[in-house]
Amino acid sequence: MRRAAITAALLGLAITAAPAARAQHVEPDLQARIAAPVANGHERLHCRGLSDAEAFVRTELFFGLSRPGGVVTEQDFKGFLDAYVTPRFPDGLTLLSGVGQFRDASGTTIVEGSKLLILLYPRSDRDADSKIEQIRTDYKRAFQQQSVLRSDDASCVSF
């Protein structure tokens, strides 16, 4: 997917949170407080000011619901979640429903239903990346998708 299409998809995604999945307010300067550059170009997570916080990764996956010949139904997506996502991340996740849009290669704006999956997991989880990539591959194969957008960020998490 071209950079413009990714930007459009991110900017065009209008998320409607389900009642059971409400986001908490996060201080606007939190990212500046938790990430400090180190010599090798990577960021080290510092959870300053949050005494009981742990260093986690936040991964967001954007799933389009249009597919050749129809759409991915709520039942289809629930089946996918139960079979491919929950077994890999049994400790919890958040799923939001929305509408996304992007511009295709011909310049046409495509609008479709979407799902935003939010995963929070410890930075020490060495298997998380491969589990997430397998989820993306499984979804593309199961529902004839060209891509599943992925976004990763560092987070301080307190339970």
pLDDT tens for each residue of 44-84: 566 766 678 888 999 999 999 999 999 999 999 999 999 99
Q: Count of domains in the chain?
A: 1
User: Do the beta carbons of residue 118 and residue 60 sit within 8 Å?
Assistant: yes
Q: What CATH number is associated with residue 65? A: 3.30.70.120
Please report whether residue 100 resides in a domain. yes
Longest dimension (CA), the chain: 52
Structural domain of 113: 3-15+51-157
Strand 109-122, strand 94-103: pairing: antiparallel
Please report whether residue 147 resides in a domain. yes
Please report whether residue 39 resides in a domain. no
Please report whether residue 73 resides in a domain. yes
Please report whether residue 134 resides in a domain. yes
What is the pTM (predicted TM-score) of this model?
0.72
Question: What number is the average pLDDT over the span 115-143?
Answer: 96
What's the CA gap between 5 and 104, in Å, rounded? 7
What's the CA gap between 124 and 49, in Å, rounded? 21
Please report whether residue 142 resides in a domain. yes
What's the CA gap between 2 and 151, in Å, rounded? 15
Please report whether residue 36 resides in a domain. no
User: Do the beta carbons of residue 88 and residue 130 sit within 8 Å?
Assistant: no
Please report whether residue 27 resides in a domain. no
- Identify the helix (H) or strand (E) that includes residue 10: helix 3-12
Question: What number is the average pLDDT over the span 148-156?
Answer: 94
- Supply the pLDDT for residue 21: 34
Strand 54-64, strand 109-122: pairing: antiparallel
What's the CA gap between 64 and 60, in Å, rounded? 13
pLDDT one-digit tens code per residue, 4-55 = 443 334 434 433 333 333 333 344 444 444 444 333 334 456 676 667 888 8
